[in-house]
Each structure stands twice: as structure tokens, then as C-alpha cells.
Amino acid sequence: MPRKDQAVEEQALLGAGLFRFLKDLKAHNDREWFAENKARFETERDALLGLIGAFGGPLSAISRHFVADPRPSGGSLFRIYRDTRFAKDKSPYKTHFAAHFPHRGGDAGGVHGPGFYLHLEPGGGLWHPEPGPLFKVRQAIVAKPAAWRSRARP
């Protein structure tokens, strides 16, 4: 189990710069802008790789069969480049960072097999919330609809 101060150090691996970079990338999703901002990308990617490496210990406490691989290529981090071959949207870059912590088994299925998924993107939200939290969100929306509309995506 990590020390309390170690958890604080690990949380500091990611900062507002990561989300600022992703917001800027969304606004300027082209190769020229990305080339000019490659150093920013590498800084944020390296911070995320540090976080992935830090996941190793806590993840092994859940099960020794899950992998947190901090390699920049072929590891847990998904690449930033989109496959646009068959897409109508030809934007070359993903506007989020994502990582997969797969099951170690040889026939586990890679990214399509069991594992944990981390998705980092500006904004917020819940993905398939349980009934209790979903009810609380709905209550908050009904109680303050104007506040909800001002924060909802267009």
C-alpha cells in the first residue's frame, strides 16, 4: 500500500497543463499546430507515463495479473494519432489521453480483453453510473436546471 505522502506526490504528476494542452489540441487539430507544440505533448505524455508507472504498485495489490506498462510505445498508453483511413472526420489527433491496464494472460484479448481503462479529457461526466449516483445527478439537474444548462456541452 502506498504511503499517504507518496499518493500526494503521484497526484502531482498530472497538472492543469495536460487539460490545457488537450483543449488547445481540440481547437487546433492539425499537423502544423501539433508540430509546433510537440514539446508540450511530450511533457504531458511523459507525466502520464509517470502516472502509469505509479499505478503498478496499487494495481498489483488488486491482482498480480494486471499490467501497468509505462513504455511510451507498446505500453499501457494509447497513441494520440487517430486512424482516419475510413473516417469522415480526418482530424489527425485524438483530443484525449487514454491508457489500458490489461490482464496479463496470453489469451486475454489485449485491449479487447479484461482490464482497467483510464480516459482523460477536458470536461467531466459519468460513464454508466450506478442507480444511486445517477439519481443524485438527476435530482441536482431538476433542482437547478439553469446551472445545468450553463455547464452542459452544446
Whether residue 60 sits in one domain with residue 131: no
**Model confidence at 5: pLDDT above 50:** no
Under 8 Å between Cβ of 153 and 123? yes
Whether residue 119 sits in one domain with residue 138: no
Whether residue 76 sits in one domain with residue 15: yes
Single out the residue of 101, 85, 83 nearest to residue 93, CA to CA. Answer: 83
Cα distance between residue 58 and residue 37, in whole Å: 33
Whether residue 133 sits in one domain with residue 117: no
**Model confidence at 12: pLDDT above 70:** no
* ∠ Cα 39 44 48 (to 5°): 145
Whether residue 74 sits in one domain with residue 150: no
Whether residue 129 sits in one domain with residue 113: no
Whether residue 131 sits in one domain with residue 81: no
Domain count, the chain: 2
Mean pLDDT, all residues of the chain:
86
**Model confidence pLDDT, tens digit, residues 74-93:** 999 999 999 999 999 999 99
Whether residue 96 sits in one domain with residue 61: yes
Whether residue 78 sits in one domain with residue 129: no
Under 8 Å between Cβ of 52 and 76? yes
Work out the average pLDDT over 108-137: 84
pTM: 0.74
- Give the DSSP H or E segment for 40: helix 38-62
Instruction: Using only the alpha carbons of the chain, give its radius of gyration.
Output: 18
Cα distance between residue 17 and residue 46, in whole Å: 12
pLDDT band at 13 (very low <50, low <70, confident <90, very high): low
**Model confidence pLDDT, tens digit, residues 34-86:** 999 999 999 999 999 999 999 999 998 998 889 999 999 999 999 999 999 99
SS3 128: coil
Whether residue 97 sits in one domain with residue 44: yes
Whether residue 64 sits in one domain with residue 78: yes
Whether residue 135 sits in one domain with residue 96: no
Q: Residue 142 is part of which domain span?
A: 124-154
